[in-house]
Amino acid sequence: MATPHINAKDNDFAKTVLMPGDPLRAKFIAETFLEDAVQVNSVRGILGYTGTYKGKKVSVMASGMGCPSIGIYSYELYAFYGVENIIRIGSAGAITEKLKIRDIVAGIGSNTNSNFADQYGMPGTLAPTADYTLLSTAVESAKEKGIDMKVGNLLCSDTFYSEGGKEESILWSKMGTMAVEMESTALYLTAARLGKRALALVTISDHLITGEETTAEERQNTFTQMMEIALETAVKMYDK
């Protein structure tokens, strides 16, 4: 069933979809980790692939940048393609000295300055959170691989070039927020509304406190530990 933004056929997607922001990162994952990978989407350059990992069907598709973009793609995957689990695998900026470049963070919660939740008309404040089963499975997978993955709150921001700058980040950091990215809130809320599962895993690509950063090529091709955690989690979810 084609949608306005995905031209895949029924059953083209696996139960679990890994979702990087960058289409080239989706291509890299498919070519590096999946066996017999087939491209199933290319609308608007948003590349999607399905193959197998350790004998289990797994998909990977880009989300683009920001809440509106991942909100569209995650909704269509959940609602029209029978996808049950989406694991965002992206980059983030550290806003705490507890993190260093290339550390991996699993977002248990998603603080935000986005108005994405306004559409639901709730009589209070929604708190976007990860699915516990996905989160605990990812933590288990990281431990099995000997990876010290952190778990904590993310800040999902609608602004990349924020007028508030470093001072704004410090305020979030004081409340225990670990890193800033741009998609987790929309993903978590869409999953909650549709009764599905979602988790955001991010690798620290730059540090807003120390000024360290990685290159675009490094972000595309070297965040393999995060990718492997997500793939192992996808395989385990077949038994959940």
C-alpha separations of 60 from 9, 57, 86, 99, 216 in Å: 15, 10, 9, 27, 20
d(CA 210, CA 97): 8
d(CA 171, CA 5): 37
Annotated active-site residue 206? The verdict is yes
Reduce the DSSP state of residue 67 to 3 states and report it.
helix
C-alpha separations of 231 from 15, 56, 65 in Å: 12, 10, 22
Q: Where do the DSSP E strands lie in the chain?
A: 16-19, 35-41, 48-53, 56-61, 85-94, 104-112, 150-156, 177-181, 197-207
Facing residues of 50 across strands? 38, 59
Task: State the catalytic residue, choosing from 10, 158, 206, 239.
Answer: 206
- Dihedrals φ, ψ of 207, to 5°? -125, 115
Q: Which residues are catalytic?
A: 206
